[in-house]
Amino acid sequence: MTKTKLQAEHIHMVFTRDGKTTSVLNDISLTVAEGEFVCLLGPSGCGKSTLLSTMAGFLSPTSGEVTIDGEAVHGPDPRRIFVFQERGVFPWLTVEGNIAFGLFHLTAAERHQRVAHYIKMVGLEGFEKAYPPALSGGMKQRLEVARALAVNPDMLFLDEPFGALDSITRLVMRGELLRIWEAERKTIIFVTHDIDEAVQLADRVVVMSARPATIQQIVNIDIPHPRDISSARYLELRDGIFQQIGLAHKI
């Protein structure tokens, strides 16, 4: 086993609102290795996004601790970037301006070179001076990924990044993300409620229960990339997760 990147230990999260307490996360423990691609899979509203925000340092757990590279997480950090659904791009900046946003500590020349590199990587050449309202949903999402990669983080947190895209764009984006991940080998934690998406992308799928979220099962996806999504092993793993979540595989 390679080096441990992230460790979540006995994470509990309880929200109090109007005097009512709601337990959202219940004793979550998870270890993620460096360079690993992990999907958090669960029904909508189960608390998987809360877990992701906790790992990213946006929220503090009620009890338990998240450590990254052995250090306790106390807040967000440019070494690990959170990618929201495409809503996270800044509409007042151009494509270039968005990608350069986190690069304020670099010289102009370095910044320019870095921006050009990532514009090319996500295929936004020709749109350097465009503003986000002029971009499609898929392009905005690629832009946000480029902005995240440009600061050279060692981890990415992706919160249902392709959820708002149409199904064709979503498939293309999954391919792009895998290509980028194979090139840069960041540790990726990816939240989704889409079982196929999880099995297509992840090294391991963490199956979570409805609220309060607990980890039901962790499934190793032992299929090398590129994955044949009609292979027997793929279908076997996917159907196993379907059953685990308690869904009949018929409509």
Partner 1 sequence: MNSLVEPKKWERFVWPLLATALLLALWHYSVAWTATKIFPSPLDVKKGIAELIRKKVLWPDIIDSLRRVAIGFGAATVIGIPLGLTLGWYPAANQVVNPVLQILRPISPIAWIPIAIILLGVGDHAATSLIFLGALFPIIVACVDGVSNVPSVYRLAGRNFGLGPFRLLTQVVFPAALPKIIVGLRLALGIAWLVVVAAEMIAVDSGLGYLVIDSRNSGKRYDLVVAAMLIIGLIGLILDTGFRRLEKIKSVRWGFRDDS
Q: Does 15 contact partner 1 by CB under 8 A?
A: no
Number of residues that bind partner 1 (CB under 8 A): 22
Q: Does 92 contact partner 1 by CB under 8 A?
A: yes
Q: Does 136 contact partner 1 by CB under 8 A?
A: no
For partner 1, which stretch binds (CB under 8 A), given 10-18, 69-77, 114-122, 171-179?
A: 69-77
Q: Does 91 contact partner 1 by CB under 8 A?
A: yes
Contact 230, 192 (CB under 8 A): no
| Sequence-separated (6 or more) residues with CB below 8 Å from residue 213 | 24, 25, 26, 28, 42, 46, 47, 48, 50, 51
- The one-letter amino acid code at 97 reads G
- The least CB distance from residue 133 to partner 1, in Å, is 5
- The least CB distance from residue 56 to partner 1, in Å, is 7
Site string for partner 1, 70-89 (x = CB under 8 A): -----xxxx--xx-x--xx-
- The one-letter amino acid code at 3 reads K
Q: Does 14 contact partner 1 by CB under 8 A?
A: no
Q: Is the peptide bond before 212 cis (omega within 30 degrees of 0)?
A: yes
Q: Does 132 contact partner 1 by CB under 8 A?
A: yes
Q: Which is nearer to partner 1, 42 or 88 (CB)?
A: 88
- The least CB distance from residue 147 to partner 1, in Å, is 8
Alpha-carbon distance 117 to 119, whole Å?
Answer: 6
- The least CB distance from residue 28 to partner 1, in Å, is 21
Task: State how far Cα 53 lies from the chain centre.
Answer: 11
Phi, psi of 162 (to 5 degrees): -105, 10
Nearest to 161 by CA among 180, 184, 133, 182: 180
Q: Does 45 contact partner 1 by CB under 8 A?
A: no
Q: Which is nearer to partner 1, 141 or 209 (CB)?
A: 141
Q: Does 161 contact partner 1 by CB under 8 A?
A: no
- The least CB distance from residue 10 to partner 1, in Å, is 25
Alpha-carbon distance 176 to 197, whole Å?
Answer: 13
Q: Does 100 contact partner 1 by CB under 8 A?
A: no
Query: How far is the CA of 209 from the CAs of 23, 60, 196, in angstroms?
Result: 13, 21, 17
How many alpha carbons lie under 13 Å from residue 210 in its C-beta half-sphere?
2
Q: Which is nearer to partner 1, 151 or 245 (CB)?
A: 151
Interface residues with partner 1 (CB under 8 A)? 56, 58, 75-78, 81-82, 84, 87-88, 90-93, 101-102, 104, 131-133, 151
